[in-house]
Structure 1
């Protein structure tokens, strides 16, 4: 929720949130959850809130969010929910600033039966692990396939995520594969 560019308030502004009844929730796996209020702090022009929803459909679902405040008029917002089992970051910047230092694969913890490979532009696997978890088993720009680990140079790389989804059926053995490219930006 934000105020117009350049506008701030000297007092905090509370906005009540609700899901509009015109939202088509039929594509969702369950009822969405939304924070009931968001506060725009004094001296700021925006406030953040969370919506939790999941989809089992290949079609995007749209949730209409209404807001109300005694201080100002709130325009309706739209949140689009897509069915993505995993969502992989677009890059790794190994500069130790705490942002994108490692390849984050959102939702991977839901699928512990997984394998992640990182391949360089020549098709050579430079990193490989099973049970990738974004914590102990995480790619941070260092090769792990040779006997000596080394920092990888800047450039394009490709990830391959293979997983078996046992969230709906614990006996499932069908492997799913997700892949795309990402960029490593190594320190100079």
Structure 2
């Protein structure tokens, strides 16, 4: 009987860990989005968070009622740590995952070659600067970088960017397309995830100019 009682308390302690992780997730969603996704979405997430806190409260009442000081303190510590540090752990695991997906130098050169061949086949006025692409990829760490140089004096435009994007094979990491004009001046840099979904663009003035923002 005593063993069963002890097991119940251990399970409740693990439940507080799970509640802390969930609570952290809902708190971040509420804090980051607020009313951006509508009042109903905000109210739903807020209700989930209140429910989590209510469950945690009743677990604490159970420990107090049964005079389980160790479990009472341990559950507060576990809940607090999981609530506070879950975002940092998720972020760190994401960074580690991206670093593990960094493309080898040999594979980079192979990709540069294949992409440039496709660019030329489609008669797009660009060359890939292999050395600068490799150097930028190494510098960025977890973002595969492709540096493209315009081969004529026409303006870099969104249509050309989209056509080049279509030629990029599926990758396991984020990647960026960095465009230089004919005079070898930096024009624009665009970042995409591994599904080719647009993430960011710089500088803002150029992004706005070609309507890529």
Q: TM-score normalised by the shorter chain: which range applies?
A: under 0.3
Rg larger in structure: 2
- TM-score w.r.t. structure 2 length? 0.22
Task: Give the structure with the higher percent strand.
Answer: 1
